Amino acid sequence: AGRGPTYADGVIYAYGGTYGANIMYAVDAKTGTPVQSFGSKGRMLVADEIVKFKYPKKESAGYMTVGPPAHHNGMLYVVLAQSEKHIPGGLLAAMDGKTGAVKWVFSTVPQGPEDDGWDAAKDTWIGGQRVGGGIWTQPAIDPELGLIYVNAGNPSPDYEGTARHGINLFTNAILAVQLQTGKLAWYYQTIHHDLWDWDLVAGPVLFDVTAGGRPIRGLASAGKNCFLYFLNRE
Protein backbone atom coordinates (compact mmCIF):
# COMPACT_ATOMS: atom_id res chain seq x y z
CA ALA A 1 0.00 0.00 0.00
CA GLY A 2 2.94 2.35 0.61
CA ARG A 3 5.87 3.54 -1.45
CA GLY A 4 8.21 0.74 -0.44
CA PRO A 5 9.40 -1.03 2.71
CA THR A 6 12.17 -0.21 5.18
CA TYR A 7 14.82 -2.68 6.38
CA ALA A 8 16.63 -2.24 9.71
CA ASP A 9 18.10 -4.46 12.43
CA GLY A 10 16.97 -7.64 10.68
CA VAL A 11 13.36 -6.46 10.38
CA ILE A 12 11.30 -5.40 7.34
CA TYR A 13 8.71 -2.70 8.04
CA ALA A 14 6.01 -2.37 5.40
CA TYR A 15 2.45 -1.11 4.98
CA GLY A 16 -0.29 -3.51 4.00
CA GLY A 17 -4.01 -3.88 3.56
CA THR A 18 -6.28 -1.68 1.49
CA TYR A 19 -4.72 1.55 0.21
CA GLY A 20 -4.68 3.98 3.09
CA ALA A 21 -5.45 1.27 5.67
CA ASN A 22 -2.45 2.43 7.71
CA ILE A 23 -1.43 -1.06 8.82
CA MET A 24 2.30 -1.39 9.48
CA TYR A 25 3.78 -4.88 9.61
CA ALA A 26 7.10 -5.76 11.22
CA VAL A 27 8.45 -9.01 9.78
CA ASP A 28 11.64 -10.95 10.49
CA ALA A 29 13.70 -10.56 7.30
CA LYS A 30 15.13 -14.10 7.44
CA THR A 31 12.00 -16.07 8.26
CA GLY A 32 9.07 -13.86 7.19
CA THR A 33 7.42 -14.31 10.57
CA PRO A 34 5.81 -11.33 12.36
CA VAL A 35 7.85 -9.67 15.12
CA GLN A 36 5.71 -10.46 18.15
CA SER A 37 6.95 -7.51 20.24
CA PHE A 38 5.83 -4.93 17.67
CA GLY A 39 2.32 -3.52 18.05
CA SER A 40 -0.19 -6.35 18.26
CA LYS A 41 1.94 -9.40 17.40
CA GLY A 42 3.71 -7.71 14.51
CA ARG A 43 0.86 -5.55 13.25
CA MET A 44 -0.07 -1.96 14.11
CA LEU A 45 -2.68 0.58 13.02
CA VAL A 46 0.08 3.13 12.95
CA ALA A 47 -1.92 6.25 12.01
CA ASP A 48 -4.32 5.57 14.88
CA GLU A 49 -1.47 5.39 17.38
CA ILE A 50 0.23 8.55 16.11
CA VAL A 51 -2.92 10.67 15.98
CA LYS A 52 -4.05 9.41 19.41
CA PHE A 53 -0.69 10.43 20.86
CA LYS A 54 -0.74 13.90 19.27
CA TYR A 55 -4.45 14.75 19.35
CA PRO A 56 -6.17 12.47 21.94
CA LYS A 57 -9.65 13.84 21.12
CA LYS A 58 -9.31 13.61 17.34
CA GLU A 59 -10.06 10.64 15.09
CA SER A 60 -7.39 9.41 12.68
CA ALA A 61 -9.80 9.36 9.71
CA GLY A 62 -8.16 10.86 6.64
CA TYR A 63 -4.55 10.40 7.70
CA MET A 64 -2.59 7.95 5.60
CA THR A 65 0.80 6.26 5.62
CA VAL A 66 2.50 6.52 2.23
CA GLY A 67 6.23 7.27 2.50
CA PRO A 68 8.36 4.49 4.04
CA PRO A 69 9.61 5.13 7.57
CA ALA A 70 13.23 6.09 8.23
CA HIS A 71 15.25 4.24 10.88
CA HIS A 72 18.11 5.19 13.16
CA ASN A 73 19.49 3.78 16.40
CA GLY A 74 16.51 1.54 17.10
CA MET A 75 13.90 4.21 16.32
CA LEU A 76 11.43 4.41 13.44
CA TYR A 77 10.49 7.82 12.05
CA VAL A 78 7.05 7.50 10.49
CA VAL A 79 5.31 10.12 8.33
CA LEU A 80 1.61 10.67 7.64
CA ALA A 81 -0.08 12.30 4.67
CA GLN A 82 -2.79 13.44 3.42
CA SER A 83 -2.66 17.01 2.16
CA GLU A 84 -5.96 16.81 0.29
CA LYS A 85 -8.24 15.42 3.01
CA HIS A 86 -8.57 18.82 4.74
CA ILE A 87 -6.98 17.63 7.97
CA PRO A 88 -4.42 19.42 10.15
CA GLY A 89 -0.88 18.82 9.11
CA GLY A 90 1.36 16.02 8.06
CA LEU A 91 2.63 14.25 11.15
CA LEU A 92 6.18 13.03 11.80
CA ALA A 93 6.44 10.51 14.64
CA ALA A 94 9.34 8.86 16.45
CA MET A 95 8.46 5.29 17.40
CA ASP A 96 10.33 2.46 19.10
CA GLY A 97 11.42 0.01 16.40
CA LYS A 98 10.85 -3.03 18.63
CA THR A 99 7.48 -2.17 20.15
CA GLY A 100 6.01 0.66 18.07
CA ALA A 101 5.58 2.86 21.15
CA VAL A 102 5.35 6.54 20.18
CA LYS A 103 7.99 8.86 21.66
CA TRP A 104 7.06 12.20 20.07
CA VAL A 105 4.99 13.65 17.20
CA PHE A 106 5.66 16.83 15.20
CA SER A 107 2.95 18.52 13.10
CA THR A 108 3.84 20.40 9.92
CA VAL A 109 0.90 22.77 10.49
CA PRO A 110 0.89 23.88 14.16
CA GLN A 111 -2.64 24.14 15.54
CA GLY A 112 -1.91 26.06 18.74
CA PRO A 113 0.72 27.04 21.33
CA GLU A 114 1.06 23.38 22.34
CA ASP A 115 2.58 22.59 18.92
CA ASP A 116 6.23 23.34 18.23
CA GLY A 117 6.73 26.06 15.63
CA TRP A 118 3.52 27.87 16.61
CA ASP A 119 5.20 31.26 17.07
CA ALA A 120 6.52 31.19 13.50
CA ALA A 121 3.36 29.79 11.90
CA LYS A 122 0.46 31.29 13.86
CA ASP A 123 0.07 34.53 11.86
CA THR A 124 0.59 32.86 8.47
CA TRP A 125 -2.97 31.49 8.36
CA ILE A 126 -5.74 34.09 8.29
CA GLY A 127 -9.32 32.81 8.12
CA GLY A 128 -10.51 29.23 7.68
CA GLN A 129 -8.75 26.15 8.98
CA ARG A 130 -5.06 25.34 9.29
CA VAL A 131 -4.98 22.18 7.20
CA GLY A 132 -2.82 20.31 4.70
CA GLY A 133 0.93 19.83 4.83
CA GLY A 134 0.95 16.04 4.48
CA ILE A 135 4.32 14.27 4.29
CA TRP A 136 4.40 11.93 1.29
CA THR A 137 8.06 10.94 1.10
CA GLN A 138 10.65 9.20 3.26
CA PRO A 139 12.59 11.38 5.74
CA ALA A 140 16.37 11.73 5.67
CA ILE A 141 18.55 11.61 8.80
CA ASP A 142 21.90 13.18 9.70
CA PRO A 143 22.91 11.35 12.91
CA GLU A 144 25.96 13.59 13.49
CA LEU A 145 23.81 16.74 13.54
CA GLY A 146 20.99 14.93 15.32
CA LEU A 147 18.46 16.14 12.75
CA ILE A 148 15.75 14.52 10.64
CA TYR A 149 14.54 16.22 7.46
CA VAL A 150 11.06 16.01 5.91
CA ASN A 151 9.26 17.67 3.03
CA ALA A 152 5.77 18.91 3.87
CA GLY A 153 3.11 19.04 1.15
CA ASN A 154 0.62 21.65 -0.01
CA PRO A 155 -2.05 23.43 2.04
CA SER A 156 -5.71 22.47 1.67
CA PRO A 157 -7.68 23.13 -0.44
CA ASP A 158 -4.74 23.04 -2.81
CA TYR A 159 -6.20 25.09 -5.69
CA GLU A 160 -8.22 27.66 -3.73
CA GLY A 161 -6.79 30.00 -1.10
CA THR A 162 -9.43 32.57 -0.21
CA ALA A 163 -10.09 30.93 3.16
CA ARG A 164 -6.40 30.71 4.12
CA HIS A 165 -4.72 34.05 3.53
CA GLY A 166 -1.02 34.23 4.37
CA ILE A 167 1.96 32.05 3.45
CA ASN A 168 0.54 29.03 5.32
CA LEU A 169 3.54 27.68 7.24
CA PHE A 170 4.86 25.02 7.25
CA THR A 171 3.24 23.73 4.07
CA ASN A 172 5.43 23.30 0.97
CA ALA A 173 8.47 23.44 3.21
CA ILE A 174 11.68 21.57 3.93
CA LEU A 175 11.81 21.02 7.70
CA ALA A 176 14.65 20.02 10.01
CA VAL A 177 13.53 18.48 13.32
CA GLN A 178 15.58 17.40 16.33
CA LEU A 179 15.85 13.60 16.44
CA GLN A 180 15.69 13.34 20.21
CA THR A 181 12.95 15.84 21.01
CA GLY A 182 10.84 16.41 17.89
CA LYS A 183 11.49 20.16 18.14
CA LEU A 184 11.79 22.30 15.01
CA ALA A 185 15.39 23.29 14.19
CA TRP A 186 14.81 25.24 10.95
CA TYR A 187 12.55 25.44 7.91
CA TYR A 188 12.64 26.68 4.32
CA GLN A 189 9.33 27.24 2.53
CA THR A 190 9.59 26.75 -1.23
CA ILE A 191 6.14 28.03 -2.29
CA HIS A 192 4.29 30.67 -0.26
CA HIS A 193 0.48 30.35 -0.21
CA ASP A 194 0.41 27.57 -2.80
CA LEU A 195 -2.45 27.65 -5.32
CA TRP A 196 -1.09 25.12 -7.82
CA ASP A 197 -0.39 21.91 -5.86
CA TRP A 198 3.34 22.61 -6.33
CA ASP A 199 4.68 20.73 -3.35
CA LEU A 200 8.06 19.01 -3.17
CA VAL A 201 7.85 15.91 -5.31
CA ALA A 202 10.62 13.79 -3.73
CA GLY A 203 12.18 13.27 -0.33
CA PRO A 204 15.22 15.29 0.79
CA VAL A 205 18.64 13.97 -0.31
CA LEU A 206 21.67 14.61 1.91
CA PHE A 207 25.18 15.06 0.49
CA ASP A 208 28.55 16.53 1.45
CA VAL A 209 30.46 18.82 -0.92
CA THR A 210 33.52 21.05 -0.87
CA ALA A 211 32.90 24.58 -2.12
CA GLY A 212 35.34 27.46 -1.94
CA GLY A 213 37.78 25.22 -0.13
CA ARG A 214 35.45 24.39 2.75
CA PRO A 215 33.21 21.38 3.42
CA ILE A 216 29.46 21.93 3.34
CA ARG A 217 26.76 19.57 4.57
CA GLY A 218 24.18 19.84 1.81
CA LEU A 219 20.53 18.97 1.27
CA ALA A 220 18.67 18.86 -2.04
CA SER A 221 14.94 18.64 -2.79
CA ALA A 222 13.03 18.82 -6.07
CA GLY A 223 9.71 20.62 -6.53
CA LYS A 224 6.84 20.28 -8.99
CA ASN A 225 7.67 23.84 -10.11
CA CYS A 226 10.81 22.40 -11.80
CA PHE A 227 13.13 24.03 -9.25
CA LEU A 228 15.83 22.07 -7.46
CA TYR A 229 16.62 23.49 -4.03
CA PHE A 230 20.12 23.19 -2.53
CA LEU A 231 20.44 24.12 1.13
CA ASN A 232 23.02 23.96 3.89
CA ARG A 233 21.45 21.32 6.11
CA GLU A 234 23.06 22.64 9.29
Could you tell me the CA-to-CA distances from 196 to 154, 157, 166, 175, 200 in Å, in that order?
9, 10, 15, 21, 12
- Closest listed residue to residue 105, CA positions, set 120, 116, 113, 121: 116
- What pLDDT is stored for residue 118 in this prediction? 97
Instruction: List, by residue number, the catalytic residues.
Output: 197
d(CA 97, CA 6): 11
- What pLDDT is stored for residue 3 in this prediction? 82
- What pLDDT is stored for residue 201 in this prediction? 86
Cα Rg of the chain, angstroms = 17
What value does the mean pLDDT of the chain take?
A: 93
Residue that wins the pLDDT comparison between 201 and 91: 91
Phi and psi of 12, rounded to 5°?
Answer: -105, 125
- What pLDDT is stored for residue 91 in this prediction? 95
Amino acid at 164: R
- What pLDDT is stored for residue 17 in this prediction? 67
d(CA 188, CA 154): 14
Q: 50: helix, coil or strand?
A: helix
d(CA 63, CA 83): 9
* C-alpha of 217 from chain center: 21
- What pLDDT is stored for residue 2 in this prediction? 74
Confidence of residue 14 (pLDDT cuts 50, 70, 90): very high
DSSP result, 78-143: EEEB-STT--B--EEEEEETTT--EEEEEESS--STTSTTHHHHGGG-BSS---B--B-S--EEET
Amino acid at 47: A
Q: Note the pTM of the prediction, 2 decimals.
A: 0.94
Task: Determine what percent of the chain is predicted with pLDDT higher than 70.
Answer: 96
- Give the pLDDT mean for 191-213: 95
- What pLDDT is stored for residue 57 in this prediction? 80
Task: Determine what percent of the chain is predicted with pLDDT higher than 90.
Answer: 82
d(CA 154, CA 201): 11
pLDDT in tens, 153-182: 999 998 999 999 999 999 999 999 999 999
* Residue 166 CB-half CA count within 13 A: 19
